[in-house]
């Protein structure tokens, strides 16, 4: 591809490649290619060591690379395919299709590195983005052009909830959907591709994957590649984009691996010293401008369920809505396992959601918070020691908890229960009627895994 030889490899340490250049050093973030046999290994320049040596991170395995290998300089950063022709395909970090289908020629390409939109281009309007999931639309409404995080440890249902949101929004969302898999299992990508194909939404969706079996450099850059594809639709075609990321923690983890390989001194708990900057560079590009919006929903793995972990804390600060998933609720079979008291959204304001929604959400939270306080007394002394008012409150709270569960389309094949999409109006009506004690005589089990409140009569 590049005939002229610009340098040679002088050291290889795992994914780290040191290169001596004959003439001038390439700039940081430039792509160079090291030749080994019939392969070209892409290397992104990360550090300039002295006047003729640079250090880079290889984006593919370096098992066949040796010292003395010829290096060619492209003079430009890594680019990715963008535009209409990418829809319906799966890509790797280089913008190459990995689903076995060829791309037409002449597709535009963009650098994966870009600055966030300037402040004077950002939109100041707030608009609700409905998901069809009761617990989220009622208590933590999402913002169009905002960033929502699904926080939780391993196995509490982050990917299931994210997949359900894709399913529910695919029909309603008029723009383009992009899915970015960072450091996840290839099985999940395979299943998602076929689910989207069956749902008929693949023609309006592009997927980019940096799998967990790939080197850290590829996982570290796949988020930037997905953002470049999203920005093209927003800025050039003035379309709304739904960007789904699974999992942002793996982006920080890949950055931590890259930082360690480059020999940088780690900061707290082993994270890279540049974590805040790297995360901000990614997150600030997700924005609502006057011509179009990128709305992002991101799964965030929380190590050991510790919400004070530096990665979780830094990600929290960028989001407009935080949906916290609770292992305790998952253990009780209350799915989606959203912690109704810890989750919050800046959209939950009178001026945005309206008086009725705001008051109802406050009342639901208040009932659930009081029930939480009474749980210790109930576990020690039993329900008999509670006053009649408190018994009523506990009954209302338990019915609300069960009403805010919901059968998912994603889990239909395992549970045997058909999935339900519930509008915000139906969710508000249901909570209102439970709080008014309309269902005082109905057992709480009747509220479990239903859609709208009208289904109780059927049960």
The answer to whether the CB of 112 falls within 8 A of the CB of 78 is: yes
In sequence order, the 6+-apart residues with CB closer than 8 A to the CB of 339 are: 324, 325, 326, 329
Q: Of 172, 185, 440, 459, which is the active-site residue?
A: 185
Provide the angle, in degrees to the nearest 10, between the axes of the packed helices 275-283 and 216-235: 30
* HSE toward the beta carbon, residue 45, CA cutoff 13 A: 27
Q: What is the DSSP letter of 54?
A: E
State the Cα angle at 401 between 456 and 139, rounded to 5°: 110
The answer to whether the CB of 347 falls within 8 A of the CB of 361 is: no
- 3-state class (DSSP) for residue 293: strand
* Cis geometry, peptide bond prior to residue 226 (ω within 30 degrees of 0): no
Q: Of 184, 231, 257, 401, which is the active-site residue?
A: 184
- 3-state class (DSSP) for residue 48: strand
State the Cα angle at 94 between 250 and 2, rounded to 5°: 140
Q: Of 147, 158, 221, 239, which is the active-site residue?
A: 158
For the question of residue 185 being annotated catalytic, the response is yes
H or E segment and range at residue 458: helix 455-458
Give 64: exposed, middle or buried? Use CB within 10 Å, 0-12, 13-18, 19+: exposed
For the record, the structure tokens of 93 come out as: 């970090």
Distance CA 429, CA 435 (A): 10
Give the residue from 259, 245, 260 showing the smallest Cα distance to 301.
Answer: 245
For the question of residue 363 being annotated catalytic, the response is no
Distance CA 152, CA 155 (A): 8
Give the residue from 150, 202, 152, 145 showing the smallest Cα distance to 179.
Answer: 202
For the question of residue 55 being annotated catalytic, the response is no
Residues with a catalytic annotation lie at: 158, 184-185
């Amino acid at each position: 591809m590049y005939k002229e030889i610009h340098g040679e490899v002088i050291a290889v340490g795992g994914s780290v490649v040191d290169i001596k250049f004959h003439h001038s050093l390439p700039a940081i973030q430039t792509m160079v290619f090291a030749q080994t046999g019939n392969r070209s290994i892409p290397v992104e320049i990360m550090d300039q060591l002295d006047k003729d040596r640079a250090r880079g991170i290889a984006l593919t395995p370096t098992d066949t690379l040796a010292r003395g290998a010829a290096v060619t300089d492209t003079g430009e950063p890594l680019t990715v395919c963008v535009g209409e022709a990418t829809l319906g395909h799966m890509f790797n970090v280089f913008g190459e299709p990995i689903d076995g289908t060829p791309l037409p020629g002449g597709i535009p390409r963009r650098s994966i590195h870009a600055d966030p939109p300037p402040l004077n281009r950002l939109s100041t309007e707030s608009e609700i983005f409905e998901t069809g999931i009761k617990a989220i639309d009622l208590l933590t409404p999402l913002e169009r052009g905002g960033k929502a995080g699904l926080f939780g440890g391993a196995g509490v249902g982050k990917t299931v909830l994210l997949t359900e949101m894709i399913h529910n929004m695919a029909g309603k969302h008029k723009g383009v959907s992009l899915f970015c898999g960072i450091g996840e299992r290839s099985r999940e990508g395979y299943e998602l591709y076929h689910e989207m194909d069956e749902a008929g939404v693949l023609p309006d969706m592009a997927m980019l994957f940096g799998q967990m079996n790939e080197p850290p450099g590829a996982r570290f850059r796949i988020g930037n590649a997905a953002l470049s594809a999203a920005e093209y639709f927003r800025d050039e075609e003035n379309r709304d984009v739904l960007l789904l990321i699974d999992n942002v923690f793996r982006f920080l983890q890949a950055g931590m691996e890259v930082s360690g390989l480059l020999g940088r001194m780690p900061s707290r708990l082993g994270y890279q010293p540049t974590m805040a900057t790297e995360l901000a560079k990614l997150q600030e590009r997700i924005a609502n401008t006057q011509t179009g919006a990128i709305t992002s929903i991101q799964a965030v793995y929380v190590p050991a369920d510790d919400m004070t972990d530096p990665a979780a804390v830094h990600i929290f600060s960028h989001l407009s809505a935080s949906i916290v998933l609770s292992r305790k609720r998952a253990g009780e079979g209350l799915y989606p396992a959203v912690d109704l008291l810890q989750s919050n959204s800046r959209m939950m304001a009178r001026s945005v959601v309206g008086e009725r929604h705001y008051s109802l959400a406050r009342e639901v939270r208040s009932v659930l918070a009081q029930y939480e306080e009474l749980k210790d007394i109930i576990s020690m002394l039993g329900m008999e020691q509670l006053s009649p008012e408190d018994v009523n409150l506990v009954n209302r709270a338990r019915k609300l908890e069960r009403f805010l569960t919901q059968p998912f389309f994603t889990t239909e094949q395992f549970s045997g229960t058909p999935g339900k999409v519930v509008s915000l109006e139906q969710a508000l009506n249901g909570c209102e009627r439970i709080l008014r004690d309309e269902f005082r005589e109905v057992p709480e089990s009747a509220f479990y895994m239903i859609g709208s409140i009208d289904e109780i009569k059927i049960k």
